[in-house]
Amino acid sequence: MNSERELLIDAYREFNARNIEAVLARMHPDVEWANGMEAGHVHGREGVRAYWTRQWKMLDPHVEPLKFETDQTGRILIDVHQVVHDLQGNLILDTIVHHAYRIRENLIERMDIE
């Protein structure tokens, strides 16, 4: 799990820096990504790009991974500290969320919010 953990830590770091190309490069072309704003999933790198571009026009989220585990199916489970501000800097949310990842060929194949 060490290389998978590093992959995910790097993805969170790049997300927080709004370096979308670096995060997308860590995703499988057919990635399924949880849509935390509207429910369901977005599909493919371009779907994730569109989702984040839309999200960042409304919100300023910051996510820090805290704890990593692997479940019996091989998914990587991460406790994440999520802080979300509006674009004026007002705090909207400060909580712990739970993300679950499937990795394939050292790329993120799926992310769920649990």
pLDDT of residue 1: 52
| Predicted model pTM | 0.94
Q: How many helices (H) and strands (E) does the chain have?
A: 3, 6
Q: Per CATH, is 2-113 categorized as 3.50.50.60?
A: no
How far are the Cα atoms of 18, 57, 62, 82 from residue 85, in angstroms, in the given order?
15, 12, 9, 10
DSSP-assigned states of every residue in 15-48: HHTT-HHHHHTTEEEEEEEE-TTTSSEEEHHHHH
Closest CA to 100 of 64, 71, 66, 61: 71
pLDDT per residue as tens digits for the range 53-106: 999 999 999 999 999 999 999 999 999 999 999 999 999 999 999 999 999 999
The full set of domain ranges for the chain reads 2-113
pLDDT > 80? residue 38: yes
pLDDT per residue as tens digits for the range 15-27: 999 999 999 999 9
Average pLDDT of the chain, as a whole number: 96
